[in-house]
């Protein structure tokens, strides 16, 4: 999800609390696997088909051989971890104020929420607020800027394939998100080991509000997705990028692509960190089923509304909905 998660709840549009409670995570040889797509396969049509199928059936997949240098991904993780290892007072230098950007400590009521995070825009340059980018470690900015360039390229490539899957021109989805003005925001989720890991979640059950999320986790498992009435673990693959379809791609595709329900569990002994980059439409754009995809035979399944309004409505629902996390 994209914005504040302090009220760790499901929105009214999310499945019932039972699903949060359902700890019946399916494990073992029968467990279906979240798809993995090798982007270096020589036949691009096969790649497109695999990405489209995974987005329809799962709404989540991992990509390998994606072109982002492994070393850069490691550097991203090193500078992120170095920031969280700073004394609290130094982290407070980039503390969240009234908006969503900045550093926030979130160990509410002992176990209801258990994370710290750092949130800041990374694209477009005109929206970046460097006030929320850590000055320490000193390489933080350079590494994140380099990572942004790669992230944007990979995102646009995937959006191109997803556009093709809808029978549209490869630039259709990127354009509908505002082209160069589409917004990219990184969130560094820092989930320390939790003695009450069975009771608390690092990230409550949710779908991501934006269009698409590209996430890199450290090696500690925790991300789970809900499929066929079961929670499934994401298997860690070194240097892979996890792609998550968000609400807006589901809406724009008139329901063809699945906004996957997911959550993050905590580990008893190990520190888990994840680096999602959320890609969202420019805030004042109207977003809804693309007109090319709808007609008499295919009526729009979703309302077309200004993204900013969708965002605020969803956050308001999370906030009003006082369900506890567990």
What count of other Cβ atoms lies within 10 Å of the Cβ of residue 69? 12
DSSP run (H or E) holding 171: none
The span of 56-64, 165-173, 217-225, 287-295 binding ligand OGA (CB under 6 A) equals 217-225
Residues facing 273 on adjacent strands: 190
The number of angstroms, rounded, from the C-alpha of 176 to the middle of its chain's C-alpha atoms is: 19
Nearer to ligand OGA, 1 or 159 (CB): 1
Residue 281 found at the interface with ligand OGA (CB under 6 A)? no
Partner touching 52 among ligand OGA, Ni ion, none, CB below 5 to 8 Å by kind: none
Partner touching 187 among ligand OGA, Ni ion, none, CB below 5 to 8 Å by kind: ligand OGA
Residue 191 phi/psi, 5-degree rounding, is -115, 100
d(CA 21, CA 28): 21
Partner touching 209 among Ni ion, ligand OGA, none, CB below 5 to 8 Å by kind: none
* Burial category of 13 from C-beta neighbours within 10 Å (exposed 0-12, middle 13-18, buried 19 and up): exposed
DSSP run (H or E) holding 319: helix 307-320
Nearer to ligand OGA, 246 or 289 (CB): 246
The one among 223, 261, 280, 287 contacting ligand OGA by CB under 6 A: 223
Nearer to Ni ion, 154 or 260 (CB): 260
DSSP run (H or E) holding 105: strand 102-106
Q: Which of residues 168-227 bind Ni ion (CB under 5 A)?
A: 208
DSSP β-ladder status, 60-64 and 36-38: parallel
Nearest alpha-carbon partner for 162 in 234, 238, 248: 248
Nearer to Ni ion, 75 or 213 (CB): 213
| Residues near 3 by beta carbon (within 8 Å), at least 6 away in sequence | 100, 209, 311, 315
Counting residues that bind ligand OGA (by CB under 6 A) gives: 12
Partner touching 182 among Ni ion, ligand OGA, none, CB below 5 to 8 Å by kind: none
Residue 222 found at the interface with ligand OGA (CB under 6 A)? yes
The span of 28-36, 92-100, 119-127, 215-223 binding ligand OGA (CB under 6 A) equals 215-223
Partner touching 222 among Ni ion, ligand OGA, none, CB below 5 to 8 Å by kind: ligand OGA
Nearest alpha-carbon partner for 63 in 88, 43, 40: 40
The one among 189, 194, 254, 258 contacting ligand OGA by CB under 6 A: 189
Residue 247 found at the interface with Ni ion (CB under 5 A)? no
Task: Please check whether residue 196 is in contact with residue 111, taking contact to mean a CB–CB distance below 8 angstroms.
Answer: yes
User: Per-residue x/- mask for ligand OGA, residues 249 to 268, rule CB under 6 A?
Assistant: -------------x-x----
Partner touching 223 among Ni ion, ligand OGA, none, CB below 5 to 8 Å by kind: ligand OGA
Q: Which two tokens stand for residue 246?
A: 């968000």
Task: Please check whether residue 122 is in contact with residue 277, taking contact to mean a CB–CB distance below 8 angstroms.
Answer: yes
Instruction: List contacts with ligand OGA (CB under 6 A).
Output: 1, 187, 189, 203, 208, 217, 222-223, 262, 264, 274, 276
Chain residues binding Ni ion by CB under 5 A are 1, 208
């Amino acid at each position: 999800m994209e914005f504040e998660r302090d009220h760790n709840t499901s929105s009214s549009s999310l499945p019932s609390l039972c699903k949060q409670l359902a700890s019946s995570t399916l494990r073992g040889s029968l467990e279906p696997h979240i798809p993995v797509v090798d982007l270096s396969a020589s036949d691009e049509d096969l790649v497109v088909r695999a990405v489209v199928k995974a987005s329809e059936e799962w709404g989540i997949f991992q990509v390998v051989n994606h072109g982002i240098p492994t070393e850069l991904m490691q550097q991203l993780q090193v500078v992120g971890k170095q920031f969280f290892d700073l004394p609290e007072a130094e982290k407070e230098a980039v503390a969240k104020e009234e908006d969503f950007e900045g550093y926030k400590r979130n160990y509410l009521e002992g176990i209801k929420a258990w994370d710290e995070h750092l949130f800041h825009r990374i694209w477009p340059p005109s929206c970046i607020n460097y006030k929320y980018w850590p000055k320490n470690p000193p390489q933080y900015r350079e590494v994140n800027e380099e990572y942004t360039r790669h992230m944007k390229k990979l995102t646009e490539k995937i959006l191109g394939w997803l556009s093709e899957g809808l029978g549209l021109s490869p630039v259709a989805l990127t354009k509908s998100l505002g082209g160069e003005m589409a917004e990219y925001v990184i969130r560094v989720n820092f989930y320390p080991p939790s003695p009450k890991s069975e009771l608390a979640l690092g990230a409550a059950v949710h779908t991501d509000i934006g269009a698409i999320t590209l996430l890199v986790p450290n090696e500690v498992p925790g991300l789970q997705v809900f499929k066929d009435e079961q929670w499934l673990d994401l298997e860690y693959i070194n240097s892979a990028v996890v792609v998550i379809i968000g609400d807006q791609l589901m809406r724009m595709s008139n329901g063809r692509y699945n906004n996957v329900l997911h959550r993050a569990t905590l580990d008893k002994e190990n520190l888990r960190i994840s680096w999602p980059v959320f890609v969202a439409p420019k805030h004042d754009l109207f977003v809804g089923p693309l007109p090319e995809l709808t007609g008499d035979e295919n009526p729009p399944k979703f309302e077309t509304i200004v993204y900013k309004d969708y965002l605020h409505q969803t956050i308001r629902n999370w906030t009003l909905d006082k369900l506890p996390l567990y």
